A = this chain, B = another copy of it.
Amino acid sequence: MPANGTGFVLWLTGLSGAGKSTLSELIAADLRERDVPVELLDGDEMREFLTKGLGFSREDRDTNVMRIGYVAKLLAQHGVVSIVAAISPYRDTRDRVRAMANRFVEVHVDCALEHVEARDVKGLYAKARRGEIEQFTGISDPYEPPESPEVRVDSGVQSVDESLAAIMGWLEAEQLVPSRSTA
């Protein structure tokens, strides 16, 4: 497989607040510097055009994940690295997206609940604990961690730079992206 020219889906799964969006943006910026075509499937745009009206039932979450996955795999088929940051709590659903894509790299952005809850950047965990948000992943809704993700980072113990380096290092080692020195 060539180091470049082959698209794939890079799927970041993990709890709300684990740092998926931040990492995604850094990965996207890094790949662009290497002249790799990249598309970050941005949550806000997703909500506006793709997943408007979907809630947090198992069915709606699955529809959401499959829909984003479908777009990601379409782009990947055309040589784009499609980066998706989505809680995507259900293992089975992530595996269905994996089966749909030609190449699927699952990154578990792990973080102990106590850490994301202590940070609680958006105040969502506090609201979920007070019952003001229902079906909140990790509190009142399940999260099924990947059993064998391609990459696992832990934002509770690693810095963002360390997590980024781990992901980029894995992609380089697998020759999915050109290394910076030869780019």
Contacts and interface: CB of A to CB of B under 8 A. Distances in A.
Contacts of A45: 70
Interface residues of A, number: 17
Judged by DSSP, the binding face of A is helix
Interface in A39-60: 39, 45, 49-50, 52
B49 A67 contact: yes
Contacts of A77: 39
Contact of A49 (B39, B49, B52, B70): B70
A20 to B, nearest CB: 20
A71 interface: yes
B78 A50 contact: no
A9 interface: no
Interface in A66-81: 66-67, 70-71, 74-75, 77-80
A93 interface: no
Given A49-B70, A50-B67, A52-B63, 11 more contacts: A37-B78, A39-B77, A45-B70, A49-B66, A49-B67, A50-B50, A50-B70, A71-B71, A71-B74, A78-B78, A78-B79
